[in-house]
Amino acid sequence: MRNHFQVAEHFNLREFQCKCGCGTVKISSRLVSVLEALRQELGVPFVITSGYRCDDHNMRVGGAINSYHVQGLACDIACPRGYTVEEFAKICLDHGFTGVGAYPSQGFVHVDVRPGKQIRFQ
Q: What are the 10-residue block averages of pLDDT along the chain, 122 residues in total?
A: 87 96 95 98 96 97 94 98 96 94 96 87 68
H or E element, residue 91: helix 85-93
Alpha-carbon gap, residue 73 to 63, rounded angstroms: 14
CATH no. for residue 21? 3.30.1380.10
pLDDT value of residue 59: 96
Q: Do 84 and 99 touch, CB atoms closer than 8 A? A: no
pLDDT value of residue 1: 60
Decide if 115 is inside a domain.
yes
Task: Tell me how many domains the chain contains.
Answer: 1
Of 58, 63, 9, nearest in space to 37 by CA: 9
pLDDT value of residue 107: 97
Of 81, 117, 77, 83, nearest in space to 101 by CA: 77
Largest CA distance in the chain: 38
Q: Do 69 and 56 touch, CB atoms closer than 8 A? A: no
Q: Which domain holds residue 95?
A: 6-121
